[in-house]
Amino acid sequence: MAIFIGIHRIEEAVEDSVLEESWGKYKEIAAKRGLKPLRVTYNGAEKIAICETEANSREEVADAHAELGMQPAEIIEVKTSE
């Protein structure tokens, strides 16, 4: 499996709790599809959220987001290093 980041540019500022709730819903949807949501980084006041998911393809990540109704502006395959 590969790691993908989804970059969400939010139209208006939102409370961080809204993004946390959306992340919880996304994790449920992704898990049902066999994906592994890893983390989300966000700032509702700055209108940005970046999620990280382990999946077989970009399309799987896009489909899970489509079910959530919160499609990212971009989905990018990335590599990680520690």
Each residue of 48-66: pLDDT tens digit? 999 999 999 999 999 999 9
Domain residues for the domain of 31 are 2-78
Give the 3-state secondary structure of residue 77. strand
**pTM of the entire structure?**
0.90
The number of residues making up the chain comes to: 82
- The structural domain count of the chain equals 1
First-to-last alpha carbon distance for the chain, in angstroms, is 18
What's the chain's average pLDDT? 95
Return the CATH number at 54.
3.30.70.3090
pLDDT class of 80 with cuts at 50, 70, 90: confident
Question: How far from chain centre, in Å, is Cα 56?
Answer: 15
Quote the pLDDT of residue 81: 87
Any residues with CB less than 8 A from the CB of 3 and at least 6 apart, and which? 38, 52, 53, 54, 77, 78, 79, 80
pLDDT band, residue 3 (cuts 50/70/90): very high
